[in-house]
Amino acid sequence: NSKVIQTPRYLVKGQGQKAKMRCIPEKGHPVVFWYQQNKNNEFKFLINFQNQEVLQQIDMTEKRFSAECPSNSPCSLEIQSSEAGDSALYLCASSLWGVAETLYFGSGTRLTVL
C-alpha cells in the first residue's frame, strides 16, 4: 500500500488566486512526480524531481507553477495564478529509481477553480 501523503484532499480557489498543494513521498524515495488528471481521465505529466533537483518539467509548469522538493520538508506544487482550466486532480507519486520501477501514488488533491 502506498504511503505517499497528499494534502489537502480538496482545494477550492478563485481565478487568479494561488493554489498550493503538498506531497510527502514514501520514506527513502528520492524521485517524485506530479501529474494532472483532468475530468476526461487524461493524465498530463507536470514535473519530476530527484532529491531536490528538477529532472524534467513541461512548459506550462515552468511558466505558471512553482514547485520544489526541499530536504526534510514536504514537496509542494503551487499554481501562481489559477485558471478555470486548472481544475483537475493533482497526483503525486514517488519511487526509488524513477519510472523503471513501480510508482506509488498519493490520493491526490482535487482542485476546483471557480
Partner 1 sequence: GQQVQQSPASLVLQEGENAELQCNFSTSLNSMQWFYQRPGGSLVSLFYNPSGTKHSGRLTSTTVIKERRSSLHISSSQTTDSGTYLCALVNNAGAKLTFGGGTRLTVRP
Instruction: Indicate whether 108 belongs to the interface with partner 1 (CB under 8 A).
Output: yes
User: Binding to partner 1 by residue 84, rule CB under 8 A?
Assistant: no
Q: Does 3 sit near partner 1 (CB under 8 A)?
A: no
Least distance to partner 1, CB of residue 79, Å: 18
Name the residue with cell 524531481: 49
Taking CB under 8 A as the criterion, the residue among 15, 51, 52, 56 binding partner 1 is: 56
C-alpha cell at 25: 513521498
| Closer Cβ to partner 1, 7 or 37, answer by number | 37
Nearest to 32 by CA among 86, 74, 82: 74
How many angstroms separate the CA atoms of 34 and 47, rounded? 5
Could you say whether residue 105 binds partner 1 (CB under 8 A)?
Answer: yes
Q: C-alpha angle 3/82/41, rounded to 5°?
A: 55
Binds partner 1 by CB under 8 A, chosen from 33, 61, 79, 94: 33
With respect to partner 1, which residue has the nearer C-beta, 32 or 79? 32
Place of cell 530536504: 71
Q: Which of 52, 53, 34, 56 is nearest to 43 (CA)?
A: 34
The residues binding partner 1 (CB under 8 A) are 1-2, 33, 35, 37, 40-43, 45, 48, 55-56, 89, 91, 93, 98-108, 110
